[in-house]
Structure formats: C-alpha cells, structure tokens
Amino acid sequence: MRASQRVSESASQRRTRHFRDLIAWQKAMSLAKNVYTLTAVFPDSERYGLISQMRRAAVSVPSNIAEGHGRLTDRSFRLFLAQARGSLFELETQLELAIDLKFCVREVAAALLADCNEVARIINGLLKTLEEENGAAANS
C-alpha cells in the first residue's frame, strides 16, 4: 500500500459516519427551517419570487453538505461545501433585499444573517481541514 493511500484512508476514517453528525449540517438545517418560518409571512405576491428563491437557497445549504459528505473523495466534498457556501451568500443577499422591501422585521432577518455567517465559518473550517489533509497526503 502506498503512503498516499494510507494517509487518504486515515483522513476518510476521521470523517463522521453520517452527515447528520456534522455541526455545519445541523446548523444549516436550523437555518433552513427558520427561513421557511420567516417567509411564511411574506406577501402572497412573492410566492413565486423571493419566497421561492430564499427557500431554495436555504434548502440548498444542508443538501449540498449532505451530498458532498456522501461522495467518495475529499475533493468532491470540498466542491459541494463550496456550493453550500455560495448558496449561503445568495441567501444573505435575499435577506438583505427582504429587509429593504420591508417584508420582514430587521431584527429577525439580522438574526438569520448571523446564522448564515456562523454556518459559513463552520463550512470554511471544514474546507480548511480538508485542504490541510489533502496537503498532508500530497506531501507523503
């Protein structure tokens, strides 16, 4: 067995058994639920507009974390984490728009923006760990 295979296998063994164990996924699920609650009071005229966009972006975050975790390589996981982070930034933009359009109370949206930032920090930490493990495997 090559050294790079041993390092790669040990990195995958450190990965949690299930995506539900990931704090990033848990926090992203909570965020998605809160977005559904927030958008439930938006004007009906936004059902196919901002409500739909925000809900899709919010659901995309934990979905991409879960799908990436299920992939067989750390490289694939990193790509899905990057996609999740992009969806978070999309959701942040939409929250800002909802505030500006007065569809929601600023303080409620600000709490969700803080949740977005927290999930982004956790995802960034996961990405950094995966990159460091990949660098360690390449140096072996």
Assign residue 97 the CATH number of its domain: 1.20.1440.60
Write the pLDDT tens digit of every residue in 92-115.
Answer: 999 999 999 999 999 999 999 999
Task: Report the pLDDT averaged over residues 10-21.
Answer: 66
Scan for tokens 């992009």, then name that residue.
86
Average pLDDT, the chain: 88
d(CA 64, CA 35): 17
Is the per-residue pLDDT at 1 higher than 60? no
% of the chain residues with pLDDT over 90: 78
Total domains in the chain come to 1
Its domain, for residue 20, covers: 3-138
